Amino acid sequence: MHYQQNSFTELFKELYRRIFQRNPIIVLIAGLCPVLAISTTVSNAFSMSIIVLCVLLLSDVTIRLVRQFFKIELMYFLHVLILSFYVTIVDLFLKGFYIEISNNLGIFIPLIAVNCLFFEQYENSRKQPSFLLSLFSAIGSGIGFALIMIFVSFLRELLGSGKVFEVTVFSKPPAIFSLAPGGFIVIGFITAFIAYIGKRFNRDDK
């Protein structure tokens, strides 16, 4: 394992890059499955975000610890094994202690094991020689996922059910926002908006 010295600036740059410039949902369009399915309520999105962040961190640290004993050919298999291990642990833990969350998130907890976000993070981590940079990259991905997930769910809950945190804001909401097409529409608008802002800033820089 490489313990390369990194300055705080480097670490926070990586964190910023993963949250905004390489955001897994709106920039990389990776891991959309739970975002479309789970983001109907803010509480679901919050739970999913915590789970994704924990699994990202744990799998990244574990793969760093064990990868020195393996050759590159086996790393993908190992990554899937480690990911499945942590996802099963989280699934069992929720079934044991937070059954409501487990019921709400349902099949989307086991599906984390095959989420593109984790494979993208693995690829990023594989190329990254520094342990700390890789860790900050995983944290950034998790936070980037959580921010967009919670924002999307806030909009969908508000527009789809007319409620926010069980408080009714308006009656007779358009139900489409609670369904997957509504998720696509909301994510599409956010992605377009962020892309527009990004382009505009880049143009200003030039």
Partner 1 sequence: MNINEIRKVFDLASRFAIVAAVFTALLLVFYSVIDPVRQNNVKRIMERKYSEVLPRSLHYEEKHIGNKTYIAGYDKNNYPTGKIVLVNTSSINDRLDLLVSVGEENKITGVAVIKQNKIYDILDRSDIDAYFRQFTGKSLYDLKLQDGGNDIKPVRGALSLSDIYFTAIKKGLEDVEVINALSTK
Residues that bind partner 1 (CB under 8 A): 37, 40, 66, 69-71, 73-74, 77-78, 81-82, 85, 88-89, 92-93, 95-97, 99, 106, 160-161, 175, 178-179
Neighbours of 61 (CB within 10 A): 15
Which C-beta is closer to partner 1: that of 29 or that of 99?
99
CB of 89 to partner 1, least distance (A): 6
CB of 70 to partner 1, least distance (A): 6
Which C-beta is closer to partner 1: that of 40 or that of 128?
40
Which C-beta is closer to partner 1: that of 128 or that of 178?
178
Task: Locate 63 and state its tokens.
Answer: 């793969």
| Tokens 């945190």 found at | 165
CB of 92 to partner 1, least distance (A): 5
The residue type of 200 is R
CB of 178 to partner 1, least distance (A): 4
Which C-beta is closer to partner 1: that of 29 or that of 74?
74
Would you say 19 and 76 are in contact if contact means Cβ atoms under 8 Å apart?
Answer: no
CB of 74 to partner 1, least distance (A): 6
Which C-beta is closer to partner 1: that of 100 or that of 195?
100
